[in-house]
Amino acid sequence: DAGVIQSPRHEVTEMGQEVTLRCKPISGHNSLFWYRQTMMRGLELLIYFNNNVPIDDSGMPEDRFSAKMPNASFSTLKIQPSEPRDSAVYFCASSSLTHEQYFGPGTRLTVT
Amino acid sequence: AQSVAQPEDQVNVAEGNPLTVKCTYSVSGNPYLFWYVQYPNRGLQFLLKYITGDNLVKGSYGFEAEFNKSQTSFHLKKPSALVSDSALYFCAVRDVNSGAGSYQLTFGKGTKLSVIP
């Protein structure tokens, strides 16, 4: 079975540009999570969805960040405008009723 | 509120020796507990979980973990370490009482395991 799919794997952009990260969860999973990982702050939960509905977005750093899940097989995380401090690895994870989350390979974002 | 503590930033162990990576947790109700491993430039990979039942849980790659309710601990163990076990290990917890439909996990800060040849 295919795992969680994320694209792109690497993104380099200039400050002020819009960045869109994409995620396809494992088929049949009803929860989807977006995380950010940096050396300084470790792994941070940004937002999560249950049955396509955002449940908790308290981890979203500021209004420049937004996330959508238009259907059960696709989610996006958008940063507009991007800033150098947004540079990090962004992970998407999904889970079902078995509780454990399965992580994608991540998107390494560099904002110059 | 739920929380996880991994008291050691780094653990060094010689190849062939037993290893232990420590984790303690705090929840208001009963915990679901998890261990994940992260290799360089990779996503987190699920190793094992405790939901209910036997306190000793076996997982992938020969790892196991022991749930100790009185000490609120869930330490990860392996009888004989391999160099390929060198990675970053995360403990995570979910409070059973966190609400229906809520599957949020709280992760520890991670412990870097180095297995020395």
Question: In sequence order, what DSSP letters do the residues of B39-81 get, joined into one string?
Answer: -TTS-EEEEEEE-SS-SEEE-GGG-EEEEETTTTEEEEEESS-
The pLDDT, as a whole number, for residue B94 is: 87
Among chain A, residues having any CB pair with chain B shorter than 8 Å are 4, 31, 33, 42-43, 45, 48, 50-51, 55-56, 91, 93, 95, 99-106
Instruction: Please give the residue that has the higher pLDDT: either B98 or A51.
Output: A51
CB contact (8 A) between residue B104 and residue A50:
no
**Mean pLDDT, rounded, for A64-73:** 96
∠ CA A52-A23-B95, nearest 5°, is: 55
What whole-number distance in Å separates Cα of residue A39 and Cα of residue A55?
A: 27
Which one-letter DSSP state was computed for residue A9? S
Average pLDDT, chain A: 94
What whole-number distance in Å separates Cα of residue B65 and Cα of residue B86?
A: 17
What whole-number distance in Å separates Cα of residue A92 and Cα of residue A37?
A: 11
* Residue A74 CA to its chain's centroid (Å): 11
List per-residue pLDDT tens for chain B, 117 residues long.
789 999 999 999 999 999 999 999 998 888 899 999 999 989 999 999 999 888 999 999 999 999 999 999 999 999 999 999 999 999 999 876 666 555 788 899 999 999 999
- Interface with chain B: mutation pick from A10, A43, A58, highest number of B CBs within 10 Å: A43
CB contact (8 A) between residue B110 and residue A95:
no
Between positions 94 and 113 of B, the ones with CB within 8 A of A are: 94, 101-105, 107, 109-110
The pLDDT, as a whole number, for residue B99 is: 61
The rounded radius of gyration (Å) of the Cα atoms in chain B is 14
**Mean pLDDT, rounded, for A25-36:** 94
Is the predicted pLDDT of residue A81 greater than 80, yes or no?
Answer: yes
